[in-house]
Amino acid sequence: MRKRVVGEAGWSHSAIAGAVGFIYFFPVLFIILTAFRNRMDTLATPPKWFFSPTFENFYHIFYRSSSTTSEYISTGFHMYFFNSIYISGMSVILALIIGTLAAYGFSRHPLKGNETYLFIILTTRMLPPIIVIIPIFLIFRLTGLAGSYTGIIMMYTCFNLPFSIWMMKSFFDELNTEIEDAARMDGASERSVFFGICIPQVKAGLAATSVFALILTWNEFLFALLLTNKTTRTMPNAMARTIGGEINVDYGLLAAMICLFLIPIFFVTYALQNQLLRGVTFGTIKK
Amino acid sequence: MNSNNGFIGWLLDPKRRGPLLIAPAIFVLLLVNIIPLMWSFGLSFFKFRANKLKAPDFSWFYNYEKVLQKEKIWEALQTTAIIVAGSVGIQMILGFLLALLFAKKFPLRRILLMLILTPMMLSYVAVAIFFKLFYEPEFGLLSQFVQQFTGEMYVLLATPAGALIGVIIADAWQWTPFVMLLVLAGLVSVPKHLYEAAEIDRVSWWRTFTTITFPYVRSLLLLAVLFRTIETFKIFDVVFILTNGGPGTATETIAVLVYRTAFQYFRTSNSAAMGYILLFIVIVLTSLYLYVIKQRDSEEI
Amino acid sequence: MIESFKKFLLVALATLMLVFGSSKVAFSKTVEIVMAAPDWPPTRFMQEYFNSSFPQSGDTEIKLTLDFIPWSNFYTNVAASLTSGEQRYSMVVSDSQWLGAFIEGGYFAKLNKYIDADPELQAIFDDMHQGYKEGYTTYPYKSENYYGFPQFPDNYINFYRTDIFCNPDENIAFREKYGYKLPCTYADWETIVWDNVFDINAFLTRKKGEMLAGKPLEDDMFGITYQAGKDYDFSSMQINGFFWQQGGDIWDESNQPNAQAEGVVNSPQNVKAFQQYLDILGTMHPSHKTGGMGIFEMQALYLEGKIAAMINWVGLGAPVVDPNVSKVVDITGYARQPGTMQDDGTISRWANLGGQPFVLTTWMTDDEIDAAFKIIKWWLSYDTQIAAVKAGGQSCMKSIIYSDGYNALAPWNAAYVASMDWQKDVWHVPEFFELLTQQQEEFDKAITGQIGSKEALDAIAAFQQEILEEAGRIE
């Protein structure tokens, strides 16, 4: 019999996980299927699981039929997509950098009002955004930030800071400081302690924070709706186009957009999985 | 080591390291978040309607009184509390179980993990619209499934209880992966040799769990509860699209009420007051929560 | 040397003039009008048709840029834009009910002085159908203060399945059971009143497998459907019609400050009317039990062939004839919605109008105002309006809707035009949203069976009385 290694399991485990995963994933599967079928098949009763797939919906993401001629007009979707990637990417990176530094500061160099600062940072996430939308709108207008990339990126960075700070601080707190002290005594500078010792150990935290921050900004809707203009508009806005108007939701078009929209996040998360799952095998002992 | 001359030296002095590190964060937050919050807060002490040309009149606690007297806000808070408790509760339990499932290495793990993480990556609007379709009496999968057994269309959203359940399930489904991921990050950071030692010592599963696994996971689990609770209090899109606060006002959460007051009724300062009452409640709850955590932390030591 | 250089200059100059002269050097300035518009075909048409057919004249080029905002966020976006003072839009497509809120906020401009000064505009105003003029342009409702022009006029009509209603066997069976004809043609539907709908729905509600129109049903079938939706103004739009048809009324804005809400909104006629609405609703597709069967859900049911008829906006008609989304393209007929028999033998068909006007904002410059009126005159001209109707739009200009051939432009035009004489509107006051939302909530509770019709109307009347007194609109 194969020696059972701690932390590993065999195919029977896979089967259970597979079943659970499938059930959980089912609604998403429905969305993906919907992207490839026309509306009548989607709304068919009883449900039509076998249908002839069509790429019509994906085509409609990029081209819209004209009201006056029989030509097709570009919808400018590729721009929305690019905007989403750029804006989310930048704000996640910024939030990660600023947040991790701040978390390190809170953790290793606690100030007198540490708890209070951390708490206030947390409270900025507690209000429904609709309350601050008008003053923010006004401020953006006055400073000329409305519709610019800088403005919305700053906004999103700000959304992600509380979580990244709290998350990374939690990881930093768990680390054993003995190693760091030893390194310092050996003459290593603060910078090399930070980058060489602390950061590698909290990779899982960094990965998780990035994923969540990315998801949050990627799908953010209200502020994108109001603070972006034609050139900086993001994807969720485009999705709103499929709802209401002459017909109830255009399920196929929406599903197709969702599929496209999922792809970048999917890749990032998949790539970061390593960091997320690989254990810390330094042999460090919990404090 | 560091040169201790001049401004740079002063800046890089170890004592100031802390503030230096946190300064950029505070700066960004101040600019983009705190100033608008202060503006809103100030506004709640005036009588102001965004669509009237009149300048705001200062009126102390008028708005707060008015808001607290109206039954509506208490109903909305109650509804919100139910949704938060239900959804976060499910997320915690389900998330934890799922994390346990994925804590070991097994074939196809990476792919299956992605399947479970996907719901979290969808936008609120997407989830709300498609769950609304699932709950549809005519076209929805749920109703059709029940029809196989009863022959009648099943209308989940017809009753207040049903509507609440519908909202809770949609929200919990979307965010359980969040909890799972956090817990998983904790589970995998447990050093393997501890488990190996436990196995050699023939420690029971439960003891292994409580003494080795749980401590590593605890802080992350608590973080998950904290953040999910705070976020779920603000729930808006899912409710708005799925039920629009209905039937009647059965699923009208505080965020929906605030939206209506601010944007549809243009009672701007009223809505600011509402928002700050909510903020106050969430602050109290969070402080309580953090306090209890700290107590238990110190007890353990 | 100099000679050849001069020649070169001349040639260069001539070339330049040719190049630039053939483009827009004729215009000395450009005026751009930015208009906030919901993103759907009627507005898309306006943009495209403008780009291709607007007759530029004089030395000022006029550019119309429609800022397309998805319908689902249209209100939020427009409200945020207006109230934040960003002054981005010169013109706005507005729902008629929002007029009061935005006029009192100082955003929408009063147009009387411009109309009085311009005979062409006066002619346009006179040409508007009275009910729509009052609905789209006046604030307070029915006063002589004018604020807008029609972008897409709309009303409710009846979309019904000709294959079912005109089937001879079904007809015979119905007549045997109920003694009158199952309505098939437009003329047949003219005689139908709401009481008949009980019969029709009882007759047409069948289970899967039963026969209908000669074929076994693939799924459960239901009869005529109207909306019962909590979102926005859905239920109210249908219920208001019931109130008016039975001699009741909503709070009368044109009679401020004397008109009351208490006693009017919960009058015995209103209670009876609302009860009838609920009773008929009970015979409709079970979807209404969610309280969320609005205009879109109904449309989806009809397009998929699950209901025999729907009473819905003309604006949602285009998908009915689109084979990509509709299973009932060739088997749909269009008629007026049922009415209520009055004591004198006539049928009352009062209903709440729909559609949107567009307005001018108060911060426009004189150049912009000139340009805007040129655009308006172009938009409401015969050619443009006809082109709009051909592309799925609608008109409410009398000279156009009563002209020959109008009814032939779209299959629902006959029903639409005939219904126009029976349109009223809901309030335009700024408190509109509060009144509407509470009303919708109470209606929703009644629709989902949580409270009774009288209880709902009493609650609504009390609330409206309170809000309107607070706002000084009732004394």
Whether B122 sits inside 8 A of A262 (CB atoms) is yes
Instruction: State the nearest Cα–Cα gap between C446 and chain B, in angstroms.
Output: 8
Could you write out the DSSP letters of every residue in B190-241? S-HHHHHHHHHTT--HHHHIIIIIHHHHHHHHHHHHHHHHHHHHT--HHHHH
Residue C19 lies in a domain: no
Residue C437 lies in a domain: yes
Which token pair is C254? 């044109």
Q: What is residue B47's three-state secondary structure? A: strand
Both A39 and A139 in one domain: the answer is no
User: Residue A287: is its pLDDT beyond 50?
Assistant: no
Q: B52 and chain C: CB distance < 8 Å anywhere?
A: yes
Contact at 8 Å (CB) between C269 and C247? yes
Q: Which percentage of chain A shows pLDDT scores above 90?
A: 11
Residue A285 lies in a domain: no
- Determine which of A16, A131, A258 to mutate to test the interface with B (most B C-beta atoms within 10 Å): A131
Both C346 and C361 in one domain: the answer is no
Instruction: State the nearest Cα–Cα gap between B241 and chain A, in angstroms.
Output: 11
Whether A119 sits inside 8 A of B290 (CB atoms) is yes
Residue C14 lies in a domain: no
Residue type, A225: L
Q: Express each pLDDT in A174-218 by its tens digit.
A: 777 888 888 888 887 777 888 888 888 788 778 888 888 898 888
As a whole number, the mean pLDDT across chain B is 83
**Residue written as token pair 């950071």:** B189
Whether A211 sits inside 8 A of B181 (CB atoms) is yes
Q: C272 and chain B: CB distance < 8 Å anywhere?
A: no
User: Residue B160: is its pLDDT beyond 70?
Assistant: yes
**Residue-level pLDDT at B11:** 58
Residue A142 lies in a domain: yes
Both A19 and A56 in one domain: the answer is yes
**Residue-level pLDDT at A86:** 92
Both A54 and A85 in one domain: the answer is no
**Residue-level pLDDT at C96:** 87
Nearest to C90 by CA among C71, C62, C112: C62
**Residue-level pLDDT at C64:** 93
Whether C44 sits inside 8 A of A69 (CB atoms) is no
More confident residue, C226 or B20: C226
Backbone angles phi, psi at C307, to 5 degrees: -130, 155
User: Residue A36: is its pLDDT beyond 50?
Assistant: yes
Residue A2 lies in a domain: no
Q: Determine what percent of chain B falls in helix, strand and coil, rounding each to the nearest 5.
A: 75, 0, 20
**Which chain B residues are closer than 8 Å to C77 by Cβ?**
none
Could you write out the DSSP letters of every residue in B159-189? SHHHHHHHHHHHHHHHHHHHHHHHHHHHHTT
Among the ranges given (A2-11, B11-20, C80-89), the one the predictor scored with the smallest mean pLDDT: A2-11
Q: How far apart are the first and last CA of chain B?
A: 38
Could you write out the DSSP letters of every residue in A134-145? HHHHHHHHHHT-
**Residue-level pLDDT at C445:** 92
Secondary structure in 3-state letters for chain C = CHHHHHHHHHHHHHHHHHHHHCCHHHCCEEEEEEEEEECCHHHHHHHHHHHHHCCCCCCEEEEEEEEEECHHHHHHHHHHHHHCCCCCCCEEECCHHHHHHHHHCCCECCCHHHHHHCHHHHHHHHHECHHHHHHHHECCCCCCCECEEEEEEECEEEEEEHHHHCCHHHHHHHHHHHCCCCCCCHHHHHCCEHHHHHHHHHHHCECCCCEECCEECCCCEEEEECCEECCCCHHHHHHHHHHHHCCCCCCCHHHCCCCCCCCCCCCHHHHHHHHHHHHHHCCCCHHHHHCEECHHHHHHHHHCCCEEEEEEEHHHCHHHHCCCCCCCHHHEEEECCCEEECCCCCEECCEECEEEEEEEECCCCHHHHHHHHHHHHHHCCHHHHHHHHHCCCCCCEHHHHCCCCCCCCCCCHHHHHHHHHHEECCCCCCCHHHHHHHHHHHHHHHHCCCCCHHHHHHHHHHHHHHHHHHCCCCC
- C interface toward A at CB cutoff 8 Å? 38-41, 44-45, 48-49, 52, 67, 70-73, 76-77, 80, 83-86, 219, 296-297, 299-300, 304, 306, 315-316, 318-319, 324-325, 327, 387, 391-392
Contacts of residue A193, Cβ cutoff 8 Å, sequence gap at least 6: A180, A183, A184
Helices (H), B33-108: 35-43, 62-69, 71-102
User: Residue B93: is its pLDDT beyond 70?
Assistant: yes
Both C180 and C206 in one domain: the answer is yes
- The winner for highest mean pLDDT among A222-231, B239-248, C379-388 is C379-388
Both C445 and C409 in one domain: the answer is no
Of B158, B249, B263, the CB nearest to C79: B263
**CATH number for the domain formed by residue range(s) B65-300:** 1.10.3720.10
As a whole number, the mean pLDDT across chain A is 81
Range of the domain at C402: 28-154+354-424
User: Residue B101: is its pLDDT beyond 70?
Assistant: yes
Q: Express each pLDDT in B178-236 by its tens digit.
A: 898 888 877 777 777 777 887 788 777 777 777 777 777 887 888 888 889 998 998 99
Range of the domain at A123: 77-280
Sign of CA dihedral C125, C126, C127, C129: positive
**Residue-level pLDDT at C242:** 94
Longest dimension (CA), chain C: 106
C-alpha dihedral (C105, C109, C113, C117), degrees to nearest 10: 180
Both A129 and A65 in one domain: the answer is no
Q: What is the mean pLDDT of residues A9-25?
A: 87
**Residue-level pLDDT at A3:** 47
Quick one: closest CA in C to A224, which residue? Answer: C77
Both A95 and A194 in one domain: the answer is yes
Of the pLDDT bands very low, low, confident and very high (cuts 50, 70, 90), residue B252 is very high
Both A66 and A100 in one domain: the answer is no
User: Residue A281: is its pLDDT beyond 70?
Assistant: no
Q: What is the CATH number of the domain that holds A201?
A: 1.10.3720.10
Question: At CB < 8 A and 24+ separation, what contacts does C436-439 make?
Answer: C436/C97, C436/C232, C436/C233, C436/C236, C437/B260, C437/B264, C437/B265, C438/C463, C438/C464, C439/C236, C439/C464
Both C412 and C456 in one domain: the answer is no
C-alpha dihedral (A204, A208, A210, A214), degrees to nearest 10: 160
The H or E element spanning position A82 is helix A77-108
**C224-252 core/surface letters (b: 16 or more CB in 10 A; e: else):** bbbbbbbbbbbbbbbbbbbbbbbbbbbbe
Crossing angle between the packed helical segments B14-29 and A114-123, to the nearest 10 degrees:
20
Both A222 and A153 in one domain: the answer is yes
Both C194 and C122 in one domain: the answer is no
The pTM (predicted TM-score) of the whole model is 0.87
**Which chain A residues are closer than 8 Å to C71 by Cβ?**
243-245
Residue C1 lies in a domain: no
Residue A206 lies in a domain: yes
Residue A96 lies in a domain: yes
More confident residue, B4 or C451: C451
- The winner for highest mean pLDDT among B4-13, B19-28, C92-101, C155-164 is C155-164
Choose the final residue of a domain: A43, A74, A105: A74
User: Residue A279: is its pLDDT beyond 70?
Assistant: no
Whether A133 sits inside 8 A of C41 (CB atoms) is no
Both C319 and C463 in one domain: the answer is yes
Contact at 8 Å (CB) between A47 and B144? yes
Rounded Cα distance, C397 and C410, in Å: 16
Q: What angle do CA C28, C90, C95 make, to 5 degrees?
A: 150
Both A210 and A265 in one domain: the answer is yes
Q: Which percentage of chain B shows pLDDT scores above 90?
A: 20
Nearest to C240 by CA among C143, C353, C322: C353
Rounded Cα distance, B57 and A76, in Å: 46
| Structural domain boundaries in chain B | 3-43, 65-300
Rounded Cα distance, B154 and B135, in Å: 8
Of the pLDDT bands very low, low, confident and very high (cuts 50, 70, 90), residue A278 is low
Q: What is the CATH number of the domain that holds C291?
A: 3.40.190.10
In order of A61, A106, A243, C76, C465, the CA distances from B259 in angstroms are: 30, 35, 20, 10, 23
Q: Express each pLDDT in A138-183 by its tens digit.
A: 778 777 777 788 888 988 998 888 888 888 888 888 777 888 888 8
Q: What angle do CA A278, A282, B1 make, to 5 degrees?
A: 120
Instruction: State the nearest Cα–Cα gap between C249 and chain B, in angstroms.
Output: 23
Nearest to C252 by CA among C429, C20, C17: C429
Of A43, A67, A146, the CB nearest to C48: A67
Residues 238-267 of A with CB under 8 A from B: 239-240, 243, 249, 251, 254-255, 258, 261-262, 265-266
Instruction: State the nearest Cα–Cα gap between A127 and chain B, in angstroms.
Output: 6
Both C218 and C93 in one domain: the answer is no
Nearest to C141 by CA among C132, C150, C128: C132
Nearest to C411 by CA among C49, C151, C158: C158
**Which chain B residues are closer than 8 Å to A190 by Cβ?**
17
Among the ranges given (A3-12, B291-300, C369-378), the one the predictor scored with the smallest mean pLDDT: A3-12
Residue A287 lies in a domain: no
Residue type, A118: L
Choose the final residue of a domain: A41, A74, A107: A74
Residue A286 lies in a domain: no
How many residues are recorded in chain C?
475
Question: Going residue by residue through chain C (475 aa), what tens digit of pLDDT does each one get?
Answer: 555 566 665 555 555 555 554 444 467 888 999 999 998 888 989 999 999 989 988 888 899 999 888 888 888 888 888 887 778 899 999 988 888 889 988 899 999 999 999 999 999 999 999 999 999 999 888 889 999 999 999 999 999 999 999 999 999 999 999 999 999 999 999 999 999 999 999 999 998 888 888 888 888 899 999 999 888 889 999 999 999 999 999 998 888 888 888 999 999 999 999 999 999 999 999 889 888 888 999 999 999 999 999 999 998 888 999 888 899 999 999 999 999 999 998 999 999 998 999 999 999 999 999 999 999 999 999 999 999 998 888 999 999 999 988 999 999 999 999 999 999 999 998 888 889 999 999 999 999 999 999 999 999 999 999 999 988 888 8
Q: What is the mean pLDDT of residues B13-41?
A: 78
Residue A194 lies in a domain: yes
Among the ranges given (A1-10, A46-55, A250-259, B291-300), the one the predictor scored with the smallest mean pLDDT: A1-10
Sign of CA dihedral C317, C322, C327, C331: positive
Both C190 and C311 in one domain: the answer is yes
Both A154 and A219 in one domain: the answer is yes
Both A82 and A70 in one domain: the answer is no
Of the pLDDT bands very low, low, confident and very high (cuts 50, 70, 90), residue B299 is low
Domain total for chain A?
A: 2
Q: A219 and chain B: CB distance < 8 Å anywhere?
A: yes
Q: C306 and chain B: CB distance < 8 Å anywhere?
A: yes
Q: C77 and chain B: CB distance < 8 Å anywhere?
A: no
Residue C22 lies in a domain: no
Residue type, C232: Y
In order of A128, B66, B285, the CA distances from B271 in angstroms are: 11, 11, 21
Backbone angles phi, psi at C30, to 5 degrees: -125, 135
Q: What is residue A260's three-state secondary structure? A: helix
Report the side by side order of strands in the sheet with C354-360: C60-69, C29-38, C91-93, C354-360, C148-154
